[in-house]
A and B are shown apart, each in its own frame.
Chain A
């Protein structure tokens, strides 16, 4: 599991690679929270282009980061989700809270 965060003038992008499960989510959560708290981006985009697997642990990861970034005055988007990942996300109704494409 790898993650690369790039800060732009309007948005920050976290490019995630690998599999998101309960085991990997802990490390991702820690890295993303550190970034959100220190940089406080207006918009953070989680790019799922290179995600090869995700179970419901990903829902908790997205929801938790969405809550934290809102508390810091910003917003979260998730992009490049593959169809099977959207099927997991749809079960949670998270698409009503976070923009997912």
Chain B
């Protein structure tokens, strides 16, 4: 699929950067003129993925979180969030609603459920000790001229 535009943003795994990631995505998406709901869905899904990287990927360490956003020719938004943290030993279990390894931080275990519900496609690849990559896609509604 032809890439119309693409942005890459790397940030340290500080919780304050959850908002930075949302701001970057929002700014980039202005060119595609999404609906308020589409923008809200994507911002929320990105927030969940970056939070997972900060809270779980780099639980006892610090590292970088890489955010890639692409606008494709068919008005599809491609988003990749990658960390090089501890990785997930059982991705299937981690994606089950309400499963959390951080109840002390009041994590609800719904991060992946939100990403799955708010985006069209969610793919998670993880390797213990190497990190996790989340890829999400969402097709925006046809543009009205």
Contacts and interface: CB of A to CB of B under 8 A. Distances in A.
B106 A56 contact: no
Contacts of A57: 51, 106-108
Interface stretch (B1-9, B37-45, B85-93): B37-45
A61 B106 contact: yes
A66 B111 CA distance: 20
Interface in B89-145: 97, 105-108, 110-111, 113-114, 117-118
A76 B107 CA distance: 19
25 contacts: A19-B19, A21-B19, A22-B15, A23-B18, A23-B19, A25-B106, A26-B15, A53-B22, A54-B44, A55-B47, A56-B110, A56-B111, A56-B113, A56-B114, A57-B106, A57-B107, A59-B108, A59-B110, A60-B107, A61-B106, A63-B106, A84-B44, A87-B118, A88-B44, A91-B114
A40 to B, nearest CB: 21
Contacts of A91: 97, 110, 113-114, 117
Interface of A: 19, 21-23, 25-26, 29, 53-57, 59-61, 63-64, 84, 87-88, 91-92
B127 to A, nearest CB: 24
| A-side interface mostly | helix
A85 B37 CA distance: 11
Nearest to A58: B108
Nearest to B100: A60
Interface residues of B, number: 26
A56 B55 contact: no
B108 A92 contact: yes
A32 to B, nearest CB: 12
A21 B51 contact: yes
A84 B40 contact: yes
A64 B106 CA distance: 7
Contacts of A56: 48, 107-108, 110-111, 113-114
A55 B40 contact: no
